[in-house]
Chains A and B, each alone.
Chain A
Amino acid sequence: MLVSLNEIKKLVQIPSGVSTDELVKLIGSRLVEVEGTIDLSKKYKGIKIVSVVSCEAIPETHLHLCQIDAGTGSNVQVVCGAPNVREGMLAVWLQPGCIVPQTYGGENFELGVRKMRGFESNGMLAGLDEIDLGDDHSGIVEIDPKFAKAGDDFAEKFELNDIILDIENKSLTHRPDTFGLIGFAREVAGILGVKFEEPVVKFGNLDVTTTLSADQLGGSTSDVEKVAIEVSDSELCPRYSAGVFEVSSAKLGSALEGNDYLTLGDVFLAKAGMKKISKIVDATNITMLLTGQPLHAFDYDKFVKVGGVKEPKIVVRAAKKGEKLKLLDGKEIELTESDIVICSNETPVALAGAMGGESTEIDENTKKVILESATFSLYNERKMQMAHGIFSEAITRFTKGQPVAGTIPALARCAAMLLEKPEDIADFEDKNSLSNRENVVILTTVEINELLGTEYTVPEITETLENVGFVVKADGEKLEVTAPAWRTDIHIKEDVIEEVGRLRGYDNIPLNLPLRPFIGADKNPMFELKRELRSILADRLNANEVLTYSFVSKDLQEKVGEDVAESYEIVNSISPELQVFRQSITPSLIDKMYENIRAGHKDFALFEFNQVTNKKLGLTDEKVPEIENHLAMISTEDFYFAKAMLMQMGKRLHVEFKLEENNVAEFPYFEKVRSAKVTLGGETIGVVGEIKGRVLRNFKVKKAAGFELNLDEIVKAPRNITADLKLSKFPFVERDLTLKVSSEMEYAKLEEAIIRNLNETENFVYKVTPVSIYQGEDNGTKNISFHISFSSTEKTLEAGEISGIMKEIEKSTTEIGAETV
């Protein structure tokens, strides 16, 4: 939203000590985020209003050679190509040195003196688009001689020595009143600690105030047939007010009459980012920008004709399925049941609050106009905005929920711009389902101060609230606060407390800290486990932590053999790449391998912690999907690398992972015979192993091994911290042992046969380290070499004892069929 500071200043007396910078800062800290400011005085610097003294066509061109008077006493020569340039007119002159406003902040095109067709041209006479006040490029801007004279400063005359605030209106979602300049200015008064004087506009003998009621507006019902308003559901349309006037009463030659001259109204619209259209439409738009209440104008005769009735019957209802409506922009839309439509009798003629229809559009033959000022359900407006992709200034306001109290003042204001007196309103009707009920909140200053942490007094609070239109009745510490009619957002104590805190400035609240007992915070076991594992994997095992998206493509799941039907599917995904919530992490990691390999990385291990789910896991007691916390690792290595990493991790965690034959259905992408099920305390927690060659081919990766584990089991597992660690101060005996066994012999069996003897010896400490597993030409056998070291915690071992142990080891390994080499 663009807000002109000049317009605000017209409505609020800014205290002299407050600079523009300070004012912008205050608005930013107490009302709404100001995303940026645009200083128009720089943009329009040096631009002059000039009269065209003479204008001669340059032969064989479309150009004219003009002498202009810029009020300096001597004429200046300008070449102009506009068809409407003529002697005697007042125009806008961009003199040499001026930046063309259209290019301001972009290429900053600076005008100079140049030759055109041999004639010197000093700067240019500008069109509306060139001065960035519209898109019209059909001719140059003309100015009313009654309004200005040659030599006037353009910016000064047209109130362009202004600062425009670019407002981030998200934080005003609950404040429809601030979407009009009057409401915005009221807030500015409030934050400056100034009482806001509600603006009053004269309309004949009527004072149009911000709280004007239907009774006050009245209107005559003389020579025009009566308008009937029927609202099918007051939830959809809490209030509908309509006035009828004749184009002749507005002293317009035609309903499309705009202005040949550039006016302050045009500039007012342009500063808010809107375009001039015609006097009538401009009046509705200017009113909306001032009051926040959007209006719409219908052609009366067309309206009656479409309805097939004599007198206009306005019906507001939900659209019916299958109904169609051709909008003002020429697009025909199919209506849905959540659309609100304005109908003439039975036929929809406008999409309420969003856009008018073509069938009742005002044109040059329009004699009478129905002016609509209504409020609609913001919920429906929001759906309509989404369904039809309409993001007009009007619907932006309707989705904030306009207060019902605003329709009449807006209607009267708009009429006052077009008509001389209320009696010129030929007919006026108002259908209001909501009484102008006042929102009253009762609270105490103690409650205010306790929530804010302040010590504001009754008079301070009262003044703050009354500055912006609240009525406060104080009885000691007790306050009865009545919200003004435009404040539809005030319902509970906290709403009032927010007003006090905000308007007086949150930044003025003294800082303190909560008092609490001196007790430590709980550790979150899962969070801490991940933190611990992250350190183990990254710092000790040299793996790299990655984060990948939780959403994956169905294609990815198919490639790795996951059952896509079990995935939770995102219905509004950004792309097919992000279509389903993932069932496991490993596929995403495999996907990241190729790119890294291509980037020249050879040996690496990636890991990630994240949540996964699938439909098979079912729902929790809260009826939300069960979620598992997983850890996945993928490496460019083989099973044994992944296994070693897993076991190291277990060792550091002091838990014992066990491997069994892989019979896990989850993680179908592991190669069955080159992977293992991982268990912990008898529970299956995941799989470790190599990824299927078939799968890897899809990713252009040759080799990959890793693991994926469910951390929810690990976090529950008891940690077996070694309690009776034995250390020896005596020398260790070192022996190498190579055993030849059948190829089928399990390594664990052999190792167990060695360790058994060492285990059985009292006061022994030992290490058995595998050195190599070798297979020569004979496929039937393999040689496994061990390095054995042992010591007694009691004494230095003697030669006899050592050879005794080695003999025992040889005996038990021979028993299982091993041959000592």
Chain B
Amino acid sequence: MEIEKLKEELKALNKEYAKIKTIPVEERKAFGVEMNKKKQAILDKIKAAEEAAEDANVEPLDITAPAGFNAPIPEFKQGSKHPLMTELDHVVDIYQAMGFNVMEPRQLDDEFHMFDSLNFSKGHPARDGYDTFRTSEGFIPIAHTSAMQNRALTTYKDRLEKGGQIAIVIPGRVFRNEDVDPTHEHTFYQCEGVYVAEKANMGELLGIFKNFFETYYGQSLKIKTQPGYFPFTEPSFELLVEKPKSLGGKGDGWLELLGCGMIHPNVLKAAGIDPEKYKGFAWGGGIDRLVMMKYMLNDVRYFESGKLDFLEEF
């Protein structure tokens, strides 16, 4: 209705405009400007009225409904990556950015790589702590990623001879003969790190950890140590990191995250590296716990459950 009226007004205005021929030449310009202004004003009003009419005609919908009338419900099938693998990638990315190469362990290995090359003397009770599985042939589904240390050292030792360093991380799956419950799995993931150079010291080891966890959790963090015992490192200790804000930390709690130490001379020797000339450090930590803390998971068994209801959350 309003539009009709405006259109009438426009018609009237156009008629008025036609009078331009009847007025003195010197006044025509001012008249034209004035008329155009009026015309534009009407056109603007028409446009606004038309848009308002159009808007009023748009059919409203129920924003809480999953679909409109008679329409299929939109569905996007989502693939997912396993959270342990995503985390392992994330951890490796940080180490790679620091300059560490990546080597994956072999899941089935032997006594030499699992124990002997790591300065566990034959029959030493320290071997018991690893609750290893064994095959009838005596092979061992590895109980720690350290089983790759000897290969990492042997593979990269020529770098030392050229004045460089060995810097490797070893992410992978390990196995322990343990009964399964919400906090224990017989199959889990670790990431190992090995660094050897002409000069390597514990201050650097601590520096790398602080740096790593600060990058990992995206905030500055305190670290502390507690003594540990591993035959393959001397000195050995365990590393604790302040509970980060993202996990609800308030600057008081600690997370026990790594076992580490300076590589024992016998481990270097077993790889043909002169321990008088080169020093190194190594560390290892579990990935499962990092993921459980991150997503507040209360059952480690979810990881290997194969349940889509779990996987689709990631």
Point out residues on A near B: beta carbons under 8 Å.
Answer: 28-33, 170-175, 378-379, 382-383, 386, 399-400, 450-454, 492, 494-495, 497-498, 501-502, 506-507, 509-514, 516-517, 519-524, 526-527, 531, 534-535, 537-551, 568-574, 578, 581, 588-589, 591-592, 595-596, 599, 601, 603-606, 609-611, 613, 622-625, 627
Interface flags, B61-89, vs A, CB<8A=1, else 0: 00000000000000001111110110001
- Decide if A537 touches B203 in the complex (CB within 8 Å): no
Is residue B92 contacting chain A, with contact meaning CB distance below 8 A? yes
Separation of A547 and B199 alpha carbons in the complex (Å): 40
A-B contact pairs, 29 of them (CB 8 A): A173-B229, A378-B124, A399-B125, A451-B201, A452-B201, A492-B234, A498-B234, A501-B235, A507-B224, A510-B203, A511-B206, A512-B204, A513-B211, A514-B165, A516-B165, A517-B164, A521-B95, A524-B101, A527-B102, A538-B80, A543-B79, A544-B79, A544-B311, A544-B312, A545-B311, A550-B107, A603-B77, A609-B85, A624-B106
Secondary structure at chain B's binding surface: helix, strand, loop or mixed? mixed
Contact indicator B202/A596 (Cβ below 8 Å)? no
A548 to B303, CA, bound (A): 8
Contact call A514/B197, Cβ cutoff below 8 A:
yes
Min C-beta distance of A579 to chain B, whole Å: 10
B307 touches A595 (CB 8 A): yes
Would you call B264 and A494 a contact (CB within 8 A)?
A: yes
Residues of B within 8 A of A588 (CB): 306
B139, A568: Cβ atoms closer than 8 Å: yes
**C-alpha spacing A498/B261, complex, angstroms:** 10
Knowing that A511-B203, A527-B102 touch, tell me 19 more A-B residue pairs with CB under 8 angstroms. Answer: A30-B227, A378-B125, A399-B125, A494-B262, A498-B236, A514-B207, A522-B101, A524-B101, A527-B104, A545-B80, A545-B311, A551-B141, A568-B108, A571-B136, A574-B178, A591-B306, A595-B306, A611-B107, A611-B108
Docked-complex contact A572 and B134, CB < 8 angstroms: yes
**Could you say which residues of chain A place their CB within 8 Å of the CB of B264?**
494
Chain B residue nearest to A623 in the complex (CB): B110
Shortest CB distance B299–A (Å): 15
Is there contact, CB below 8 Å, between B125 and A521? no
Q: Is the CB of A624 within 8 A of B108?
A: yes
* Shortest distance from the beta carbon of A290 to any chain B beta carbon, whole Å: 22
State A531–B81 Cα separation when bound (angstroms): 10
Pairwise interchain contact B308-A544, C-beta atoms closer than 8 A: yes
A453-B229 in contact (CB<8A): no
Q: Which 10 A-B pairs have the closest CB atoms?
A: A453-B203, A592-B306, A498-B235, A453-B201, A538-B79, A524-B102, A542-B79, A494-B234, A379-B123, A506-B225
| Residue in B81, B89, B98, B141 whose Cβ sees the most chain A Cβ within 10 Å | B81
Separation of A424 and B96 alpha carbons in the complex (Å): 71
- Chain B residues near A452 (CB, 8 Å)? 201-203
**Which of A502, A513, A609, A610 is close to B207, meaning CB atoms less than 8 Å apart?**
A513
* Residues A382 and B207 in contact in the complex (CB < 8 Å), given A453-B202, A522-B101, A596-B306: no
Contact A29 B225 (CB under 8 A): yes
> Are B81 and A538 within 8 A (Cβ)?
yes
User: B2 to nearest A CB, angstroms?
Assistant: 45
Are A29 and B203 closer than 8 Å at their CB atoms? no
Chain A residues near B108 (CB, 8 Å)? 568, 581, 611, 613, 624-625, 627
Per the bound structure, the CA–CA distance linking A399 and B123 in Å amounts to 11
Which partner residue on chain A sits nearest B122 by CB separation?
A: A379
Contact A172–B229 (Cβ < 8 Å): yes
Q: Which residues of A contact B102 (CB under 8 A)?
A: 521-524, 527
A606 and B306: CB pair below 8 A?
Answer: yes
Within 8 Å CB of A541, what residues of B? Answer: 79
Are B311 and A572 interface neighbours, CB within 8 A? no
Residue numbers in B under 8 Å from A524 (CB-CB): 101-104
Given contacts A453-B201, A502-B237, A550-B141, contact A545 B85 (CB under 8 A): yes
- Contact partner, A570, options B135, B167, B211, Cβ 8 Å: B135
**Smallest CB gap from B113: residue in A:** A624
Take A171-B229, A497-B235, A513-B207 as given contacts and tell me if A599 and B104 are in contact as well, using a CB distance cutoff of 8 Å: no
Q: Which of B85, B99, B306 contacts A534 (CB 8 A)?
A: B85
A462 to B33, CA, bound (A): 102
Which A residue's beta carbon lies closest to that of B208? Answer: A513
How far does the alpha carbon of A492 sit from the alpha carbon of B306 in the complex, in Å?
Answer: 49
**Assembly CA distance A797 to B227 (angstroms):** 80
Q: Are A548 and B101 in contact (CB under 8 A)?
A: no
Q: Is the CB of B85 within 8 A of A604?
A: no
Please give the residue numbers on chain B whose beta carbons come within 8 Å of chain A beta carbons, in ascending order.
77-82, 84-85, 89, 92, 95-104, 106-110, 113, 122-126, 128-129, 133-137, 139, 141, 164-165, 167, 171, 173, 175, 177-180, 186-187, 195, 197, 199-204, 206-208, 210-211, 224-229, 234-238, 262, 264-265, 279, 303-304, 306-309, 311-312
Given A512-B204, A516-B99, A550-B141: A570 in contact with B81 (beta carbons within 8 A): no
Say which residue of B82, B95, B137, B229 sits within 8 Å of A174 (CB atoms): B229
Contact assessment for A33 and B238 in the assembled complex, using a CB-CB cutoff below 8 Å: yes
Which B residue sits closest to A537, measured CB to CB?
B79
Q: Are A502 and B84 in contact (CB under 8 A)?
A: no
Is the Cβ of B135 less than 8 Å from the Cβ of A568? yes
Question: Which residues of chain B come closer than 8 Å to A548, judged between CB atoms?
Answer: 304, 306
Question: Do B125 and A454 have beta carbons less than 8 Å apart?
Answer: no
- Say yes or no: A450-B265 contact (C-beta < 8 A), given A550-B187, A624-B139: no
Min CB gap A52→B, angstroms: 49
Residues of B within 8 A of A599 (CB): 307-309
Closest to B240 in A: A29
Instruction: Collect the chain A residues with CB atoms within 8 Å of residue B226's CB.
Output: 28-30, 32-33, 171
| Complex: A729 Cα to B177 Cα, angstroms | 65
Q: In the complex, what residues of B have CB within 8 A of residue A510's CB?
A: 203
A604→B204 contact, CB < 8 A: no
- A506 shortest CB reach to chain B, Å: 4
Q: Which residues from A are CB-within-8-Å of B134?
A: 570-572
Q: Tell me if B203 and A454 are in contact (CB < 8 A).
A: yes
Q: Are B308 and A572 touching (Cβ within 8 A)?
A: no
CA distance A544 to B108 in the complex (A): 26
User: In the assembly, what is the distance between CA of A548 and CA of B311, in Å?
Assistant: 12
Interchain CA distance A609-B189 in the complex, whole Å: 14
| Residue among B125, B165, B211 with the highest chain A CB neighbour number at 10 A | B125
Whether A569 and B135, one on each chain, are in contact in the complex, defined by CB atoms closer than 8 angstroms, is: yes
Question: Are A494 and B235 in contact, CB atoms less than 8 angstroms apart?
Answer: yes
Asked whether A514 lies within 8 Å of B204 as measured between CB atoms, the reply is: yes
Q: Are A383 and B81 in contact (CB under 8 A)?
A: no
* B173 proximity list for chain A (CB < 8 A): 550, 610-611
Q: Look across to chain B and name the residue whose beta carbon is closest to the beta carbon of A491.
A: B234
Write the nearest CB–CB distance from B284 to chain A, whole angstroms.
15
Q: A379-B123, A513-B207 are in contact. Are A624 and B306 (CB under 8 A)?
A: no
A627 touches B106 (CB 8 A): yes
Question: Measured between alpha carbons, how far is A622 from B113 in the docked complex, in Å?
Answer: 10
CA distance A657 to B311 in the complex (A): 29
How distant is the Cα of A609 from the Cα of B308 in the complex, in angstroms? 17
